[in-house]
Amino acid sequence: MENFVGVSRLLTWLYSCIDSIAPDVLFEEPTVHQRRWAKRQNLLWLSIRGLTTSGTAQEISDRVAHNLRQPQGPPPILPPPGGTVLTVKNTLKNLQAMIARVMADAVTDESICDVDCHIKKFLTSFHKMDQAMLQQGNKLTWITSYNFICLTNIPQVMHQFGPVRNLWEGGDQGEKIIRVLKPLWFGFRKNWDVNLMTNALNIMAIDRVLNTEYTKRRQTNTNSSNKEVEKSIGLAKKMVHKYASREEVTERYFSRKPLSMVQLTDGRYGCIIRRNQLFVQLQCASQQEQLGGSWYYKWTMNTTDAVVIHLQSTNIRHYCLLLPKLTMHGMPTNNDEPMYMAITSDWLGMNEREEFSMPKST
């Protein structure tokens, strides 16, 4: 589950080059007379219209000439068999926008209505993509797979139980609770539900006490101030990665690799160094471009000075991830411009106004 949710955060980044990798097939008829077309050009002319492409070069050329001479004109060009690239991109954008809203950590009546709207937008776009990809006679995917229909139940679940991430995410507050409850269930006996929860809470309370004693013993051999620093910047929850040195940060920046950073309440961005609470500052320039539904900005780094700053959870606004602009061949090289898209741990992405907002649907 965590892997699928993680991938959904990166959809627009992972598929940002789909226009270049899988472009819609286009055919511009040569300006010369059809008799002088090459075999490849005749084959492409026939294939984009769904006509037979078998035969010798002369037979293929004669077939094209015959269709060109039709009184009603040549047969129309068929749409791509798997749908257009735009349809796929819209489906991905709507999927990401839907999941971002479903995974909110707080809900209101307005947000639940927004979730319901985005679920229907995703199902509509998926239906268009699915319709183009299915072969004749096959049933639609959203009919044969109940997961799609069950999406429409999520707004009702949120009305009844609150944020669904409390039910799905790992840990004892989510699905992991099943591992605690299942060994304690011995059938539907009298008061089985009360006894089950009582036993589970007793076990969890004892485990909490044992963990407390263990923590106290560990702290005698470690620097307690460092522990407090780690907790204050969310490292205990793995919200941000702390780098070993300033050189490691600059190496990753010049290699155009992803970077973990934070945004402070005063608006500054930067990466955190493990020792001495160093803060390597990053700046977002005005140069921007849109790719795959996300906005990319040129980011610069102060590679000479690192500010010593006292970091606490109270002065951190966002935990962020910088993702470099991909190329057709994968990750960018050192020679490429430092163009990055920024996303936060709260499913927000940097928009065209250089502000963080929820992903947009189509």
The pTM assigned to this predicted structure is: 0.72
* CA-closest candidate to residue 119, choices 88, 138, 147: 147
- Note whether residue 227 is domain-resident: no
Structure tokens that stand for 28 in this block:
């511009």
Do 148 and 32 share a domain, yes or no? no
Do 94 and 50 share a domain, yes or no? no
- Note whether residue 177 is domain-resident: no
* CA-based torsion, 272, 352, 125, 107: positive or negative: positive
Do 335 and 349 share a domain, yes or no? yes
> What domain count does the chain have?
4
Do 258 and 116 share a domain, yes or no? no
Do 86 and 161 share a domain, yes or no? yes
Do 16 and 60 share a domain, yes or no? no
Do 153 and 114 share a domain, yes or no? yes
Do 348 and 288 share a domain, yes or no? yes
- Note whether residue 230 is domain-resident: no
- Note whether residue 310 is domain-resident: yes
- Note whether residue 225 is domain-resident: no
Do 15 and 95 share a domain, yes or no? yes
Contacts of 87 (CB under 8 A, 6+ apart): 125, 128, 129, 132
Do 267 and 337 share a domain, yes or no? yes
Contacts of 31 (CB under 8 A, 6+ apart): none
Do 202 and 286 share a domain, yes or no? no
Distances (CA, A) of 29 to 68, 81, 82: 12, 21, 23
Do 204 and 283 share a domain, yes or no? no
The label of the residue with tokens 């490292």 reads 235
- Note whether residue 74 is domain-resident: no
Predicted local distance difference test score (pLDDT) of residue 105: 87
Give the domain range for residue 211.
182-219
Q: Label residue 214 by pLDDT band (50, 70, 90).
A: very low
- Note whether residue 174 is domain-resident: no
* pLDDT (tens digit per residue) in 153-204: 999 999 998 998 877 655 555 666 777 788 888 888 888 989 988 988 888 7
Predicted local distance difference test score (pLDDT) of residue 225: 47
The answer to which of 73-77, 133-137, 349-353 has the lowest mean pLDDT is 133-137
Structure tokens that stand for 331 in this block:
């990750």
* pLDDT (tens digit per residue) in 30-53: 889 999 999 989 998 998 888 999
